Amino acid sequence: MAGGAVIDEPNNKYVAVNGRSGPRIEQFLPAHQDTWVAAIEQVVVAINARL
């Protein structure tokens, strides 16, 4: 999914693209936790290398 808008309502946060909602973030992040951690670490290393 590319683009879209984050809907930030009290107790109801989700991503909407073209008026359609995507999966709630907590539904797919835990299954890919290690991948997200590795990706964030790579970004931090890349940013530090530029400083």
Name the residue ranges covered by the structural domains of the chain.
5-50
pLDDT of residue 12: 76
CA–CA separation, 41 vs 36, rounded Å? 9
State the DSSP code for 38. H
CA–CA separation, 15 vs 19, rounded Å? 10
Contact yes or no for 29/36 (Cβ under 8 A): yes
Under the banding of pLDDT at 50, 70 and 90, the label for residue 1 is very low
Has this prediction a pTM greater than 0.75? no
Q: What sign does the CA torsion over 42, 45, 49, 51 have?
A: positive
CA–CA separation, 21 vs 47, rounded Å? 32
Higher pLDDT, 32 or 46: 46
pLDDT of residue 23: 64
**pLDDT digit string, tens, across residues 6-43:** 777 888 777 777 666 666 666 767 777 888 888 889 99
